[in-house]
Amino acid sequence: MWRKRLLACIEGCGTFVERTPSIAPGAVWTRAAARAAVAMSEANVPVDTIRKHFGVGWNTVMRAVLVAAEQVTTVSPIRVGIDETVMTTGRLTRRRREFLTALVCLDTSLVVAVAQGRDKRSATALLAEHAPDAEVVACDLFSGFKSAADSLEDAVVVADVFHLVRLGLHALDEVRRRRQQQIHGHRGHKDDPLFRLRRVLRVGQERLDETVVAKIFDRLREADTDDEVAAAWVAVDLLRKMYAAPDRDTAHRRLVVFYEWAVAVDVTEVTRLARTIDTWQDEVLAFFDTRASNAPTESANVKIKSIRRAARGFRNCGNYAARIRLHAGQPRRVPTTTRIRSYSFATAA
């Protein structure tokens, strides 16, 4: 800590303030301390913890973070993913639930930019400003993101694999819950056959032994005589097999088999799933041309949520965006260790 001294002229010509090159005039901390605070923010340390560590105000630390965030190198990615995350939940207050849309580079898993909102307008602005030359855009099954990606010329929109399989599993759970209510008249209890199968039904059949699969089908027939749950489980398995195809043509043929199965079983939830996939068929099959998924975007979302969790929430979108750019928008700096002595693998004679 440096205590700045105030000097007064004994002849009454005025006062003078002591200065040092390390501290700018009017500043409350050194430039080195500001860089250290920014480094702590890059490591996802809350601003309140940083200001207590350096003994300065919250606004002083946040101003340094905002300046550092503006200096982060921006890139124009070719393959991007777009997804939303919750900014404020609005559960315990009267504030509305607010979302944040993030644009992520699929090649580096780094956040390119964020915008407040979850609609076509915010997504279109993100793509037009930060990824105008994008060739691949991966997103979940939200029509707003698809419409925003269609505004780019020569951009291929890819429906995310994870979200599509999760949609199939959600349809399977809906069939199981509906049949549970129709057969037993109540929600699943621990001794109910369908409830006991709820977890194993989410496992892909390719991961199970043939004997185990046969036993599951036998238990499903005993618990559901209409075989609606079993039909939904087969539909999800056909969807998984479609994504295991080596090329687009094979995937299209397997997708046709899925459609035929949905028509044959005539289960409401499976029919609705087939209609949704039919609407997104071009984007679903585009996966086999680009092999792009939203996995890097989901990875970046984990970092974004960790920032909000560490800060106990945000009300200012600009401050939230600055913290995101520092923590998830630039490569991680790993310090190198200088080798003390060289190693030799030659054996002694």
* Six-digit token string for 35: 């860089």
Q: What is the rounded distance in angstroms from the CA atom of residue 286 to the CA atom of residue 296?
A: 18
Query: What is the pLDDT averaged over residues 302-328?
Result: 92
Q: What is the rounded distance in angstroms from the CA atom of residue 106 to the CA atom of residue 300?
A: 10
Q: How is the chain split into domains, by residue range?
A: 6-70, 79-160+294-328, 161-290
Residue 255, pLDDT > 60, answer yes
Cα distances from 128 to residues 73, 77, 190, 294, in angstroms, run 18, 12, 52, 19
Query: What is the pLDDT averaged over residues 63-82?
Result: 92
Assigned superfamily of 79-160+294-328: Ribonuclease H-like superfamily/Ribonuclease H (3.30.420.10)
Quickly tell me which residue has 């849309």 as its tokens: 101
The neighbouring-strand residues paired with 15 are 8
Helix (H) or strand (E) holding 261: helix 248-265
- Give me the pLDDT at residue 349, please: 46
Note the pLDDT tens digit of each residue in 221-240. 999 999 999 999 999 999 99
Find the largest Cα–Cα distance for the chain.
105
Residue pair 120/126 in contact by the 8 Å Cβ criterion: no
Closest listed residue to residue 288, CA positions, set 241, 258, 243: 243
Cα distances from 197 to residues 10, 187, 223, in angstroms, run 90, 14, 10
- pLDDT band at residue 9 using 50, 70 and 90 as cut-offs: confident
Q: Is the pTM of this model over 0.75?
A: yes
- Give me the pLDDT at residue 341, please: 66
At position 218, the amino acid (one-letter code) is D
Of the chain, the end-to-end C-alpha distance in Å amounts to 58
- Give me the pLDDT at residue 87, please: 85
Note the pLDDT tens digit of each residue in 192-213. 999 999 999 999 999 999 999 9
Q: What angle do CA 57, 63, 67 make, to 5 degrees?
A: 155
- Give me the pLDDT at residue 75, please: 82
Which has more pLDDT, 4 or 86?
86
Quickly tell me which residue has 């960790």 as its tokens: 306
Strand runs labelled E in 95-196? 98-105, 111-116, 136-139, 156-159
Tell me what the pLDDT averaged over the chain comes to.
89
Q: What is the rounded distance in angstroms from the CA atom of residue 216 to the CA atom of residue 166?
A: 21
